Amino acid sequence: MKIEFENLQRNIKRKYSFKFRPEFSESFKTEIKDSEIIPLILEVFEQLEWPVVYRDDQSVEAKRKGDWNKLTEKITVTKNAFGKIEVYSKSIEGNFIDFGKNSKRTGLFIAVFKKLAIEYQSSGQLTELQTEFEKENNWDDYEIPLELPKPKATAPPNMTLISISAFVIAILFGVLMAYLTVQFTHVIIIYEVGAGIGMGYIFGQVLKKANCTDFEFIQKVIIGMVAVLFLTNQYIQFQLILADYNYLELDFLKFMKARWESGLTIENLETGWIGLVLSWAIQLFFIYHIAMFKISLLIAKYIIDKIPGQVIEYTMYLFEMEKSESEVRAALALKGWKKKTDQDDVFEALAEINGFHEMRRE
Helix (H/G/I), strand (E/B), else coil: 338: coil
Q: What is the pLDDT along the chain (362 residues), one digit of tens a residue?
A: 678 888 888 888 888 888 888 899 999 999 999 999 999 999 999 999 999 999 998 999 999 876 666 777 899 999 999 999 999 999 887 677 888 889 999 999 999 999 999 999 999 999 999 999 988 888 888 899 999 999 988 889 999 999 999 999 999 999 999 999 888 876 678 899 999 999 999 999 999 999 999 999 999 999 999 999 999 999 999 888 888 776 566 788 888 888 888 877 666 777 788 888 888 898 999 999 999 999 999 999 999 999 999 999 999 999 999 999 999 999 999 999 999 999 999 999 999 999 988 888 77
142 occurs within a structural domain? no
Output phi, psi for 8, to 5 deg.
-65, -40
**pLDDT value, residue 253:** 87
Give the range of the structural domain holding residue 77, as residue numbers without chain letter.
3-136
CB 24 within 8 A of CB 15: yes
**pLDDT value, residue 67:** 63
* CA-wise closest residue to 111 among 3, 2, 11, 1: 11
One domain for residues 290 and 181: yes
One domain for residues 300 and 313: no
Q: What is the pTM (predicted TM-score) of this model?
A: 0.78
d(CA 235, CA 245): 15
**pLDDT value, residue 224:** 97
CB 337 within 8 A of CB 151: yes
One domain for residues 325 and 218: no
21 occurs within a structural domain? yes
One domain for residues 313 and 296: no
One domain for residues 15 and 98: yes
One domain for residues 181 and 245: yes
**pLDDT value, residue 160:** 95
20 occurs within a structural domain? yes
- Residue 76: CATH number of its domain: 3.30.310.80
* CA-wise closest residue to 62 among 38, 73, 110, 99: 73
149 occurs within a structural domain? no
One domain for residues 318 and 299: no
CB 182 within 8 A of CB 255: no
**What would the DSSP string read from start to end of 282-334?**
HHHHHHHHHHHHHHHHHHHHHHHHTS-HHHHHHHHHHHHTT--HHHHHHHHHH
CB 38 within 8 A of CB 77: no
Helix (H/G/I), strand (E/B), else coil: 156: coil
Helix runs in the chain, H state only: 3-10, 34-48, 101-123, 125-136, 159-183, 190-209, 215-244, 252-262, 272-305, 309-320, 325-334, 340-361
One domain for residues 336 and 219: no
d(CA 319, CA 304): 17
27 occurs within a structural domain? yes
148 occurs within a structural domain? no
d(CA 222, CA 226): 6
DSSP 8-state symbol, 74? E
Total structural domains in the chain? 3
One domain for residues 259 and 314: no
d(CA 105, CA 11): 12
Output phi, psi for 324, to 5 deg.
-75, 170
Q: Burial level of 222, CB count in 10 A (0-12/13-18/19+)?
A: buried
One domain for residues 334 and 293: no
Measured N-to-C along each axis, helices 309-320 and 325-334 cross at an angle, to the nearest 10 degrees, of: 140
145 occurs within a structural domain? no
One domain for residues 168 and 299: yes
**pLDDT value, residue 77:** 97
